[in-house]
């Protein structure tokens, strides 16, 4: 299949030095991309700023910085793909304006006005068609419930939920603990495993969902 993966954080600049971001390292998304390549899929990776090397054998690699950059890159590639796995931790907000020069300490405002970034999955939803769309929900509480809401609100086929406060899960580690939430089955929780093993399982799950979509369309 043609697999489109987003990974890593985005950065939303206040000035050339300072930005809003999050703790995502991109490891989970890069593992998904690597698993797709290993399974013989064509894989395009859209990556925010990370400090890890991309997997060998990618069909395409787009490096982006901001949420709007990531949306633009995904919009260009979504028609190409059979499935989109959105692991990226996209910043929900950005500063309303960015200064051209570094803001000095004495000039820094006490209040910074933020505006919402576009919701990437909601923006891409009208172009979904028979494609499989998978989202991720990294939470600090009620991860499965949050994933269920995300599943319904964005019309996804699957959401991978994880509590980033759980031992062995979250940012900057090689393991994760996930629960798969889908519209037609109860949540399915998995024990702690390496991100590579979880990625391989997820790629095969996406393949089965895509096959089901294709069979349904031909019925």
Residues with catalytic function: 22
Whole-number Å distance between alpha carbons of 75 and 78: 5
- Quick one: 159 exposed, middle or buried, by C-beta within 10 A (0-12, 13-18, 19+)? buried
The angle formed by the CA atoms of residues 76, 11 and 28, to the nearest 5 degrees, is 70
By C-alpha distance, which of 198, 174, 200, 175 is closest to 188? Answer: 198
Whole-number Å distance between alpha carbons of 162 and 188: 12
């Amino acid at each position: 299949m043609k697999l489109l993966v987003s990974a890593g954080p985005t950065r939303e600049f206040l000035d050339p030095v300072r930005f809003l971001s999050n703790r995502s390292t991109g490891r989970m998304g890069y593992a998904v991309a690597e698993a797709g390549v290993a399974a013989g899929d064509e894989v395009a990776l859209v990556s925010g700023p990370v400090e890890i090397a991309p997997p060998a054998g990618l069909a395409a690699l787009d490096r982006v910085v901001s949420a709007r950059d990531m949306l633009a890159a995904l919009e260009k590639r979504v028609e190409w793909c059979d499935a989109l796995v959105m692991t990226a931790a996209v910043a929900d907000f950005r500063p309303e304006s960015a200064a051209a020069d570094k803001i000095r300490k004495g000039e820094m405002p006490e209040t910074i006005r933020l505006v919402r970034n576009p919701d990437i999955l909601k923006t891409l939803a009208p172009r979904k068609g028979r494609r499989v769309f998978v989202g991720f929900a990294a939470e600090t509480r009620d991860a499965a419930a949050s994933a269920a809401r995300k599943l319904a609100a964005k019309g996804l086929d699957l959401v991978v939920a994880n509590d980033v406060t759980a031992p062995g899960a979250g940012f900057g580690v090689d393991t994760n603990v996930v629960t798969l939430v889908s519209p037609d089955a109860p949540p399915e929780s998995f024990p702690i495993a390496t991100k590579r093993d979880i990625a391989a399982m997820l790629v095969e799950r996406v393949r089965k969902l895509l096959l089901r979509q294709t069979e349904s369309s031909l019925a």
